[in-house]
Amino acid sequence: MAALDIVALRKRFGALEILKGIDISLEKGGFLVLVGPSGCGKSTLLNTIAGLESISSGEIRIGGRAVNDLHPSQRDIAMVFQSYALYPNMSVGENIAFGMEMRGVPKPEREKAVAAVAKTLQIEHLLKRRPGQLSGGQRQRVAMGRALVRQPSIFLFDEPLSNLDAKLRVDMRIEIKRLHQTTGSTIVYVTHDQIEAMTLATKIAVLKDGEVQQVGTPAEIYNRPANLFVADFMGSPAMNLLEGKVTKSGADVGIRLERRDHPPILLPLPISADGSKLSEGAKVIFGIRPEAVNDTESVDSNAKSVIHFDAEVEIVEPAGADTYVVTRAAGKELTARMRADTSVKVGDNHTFAFNLDKAVLFDPATTARI
User: What is the full DSSP assignment across 166-207?
Assistant: HHHHHHHHHHHHHHHHHH---EEEEES-HHHHHHH-SEEEEE
Examine residue 73 and tell whether it contacts another protein (CB under 8 A). Answer: yes
Closest CA to 265 of 323, 334, 362: 334
Which residue's CB is nearer to another protein, number 95 or number 138? 95
Cis preceding linkage at 237, omega within 30: yes
Q: At what angle do helices 136-148 and 92-102 cross, to 10 degrees?
A: 20
Which residue's CB is nearer to another protein, number 92 or number 285? 92
Examine residue 88 and tell whether it contacts another protein (CB under 8 A). Answer: yes
Q: What's the rounded Cα separation, in Å, for the pair 342 and 60?
A: 52
Sheet hosting strand 293-295, strand order edge to edge: 293-295, 349-355, 306-312
Give the per-residue contact string, 95-124, with another protein (x = CB under 8 A; - = no).
---xx--xx---------------------
Examine residue 54 and tell whether it contacts another protein (CB under 8 A). Answer: no
One of 21, 39, 63, 72 touching another protein (CB under 8 A): 72
CB of 156 to another protein, least distance (A): 9
Examine residue 163 and tell whether it contacts another protein (CB under 8 A). Answer: no
Contact between 290 and 336 (Cβ < 8 Å): yes
Examine residue 79 and tell whether it contacts another protein (CB under 8 A). Answer: yes
Stretch that binds another protein, among 36-44, 80-88, 198-206, 211-219 (CB under 8 A): 80-88
CA torsion sign, 225 to 231 to 235 to 240?
Answer: positive
Stretch that binds another protein, among 77-85, 275-283, 323-331, 361-369 (CB under 8 A): 77-85
Strand partners, 190: 34, 158
One of 13, 64, 65, 89 touching another protein (CB under 8 A): 89
Question: Where on the chain is the footprint of another protein (CB under 8 A)?
Answer: 50-52, 71-74, 77-79, 81-83, 85-89, 98-99, 102-103, 146
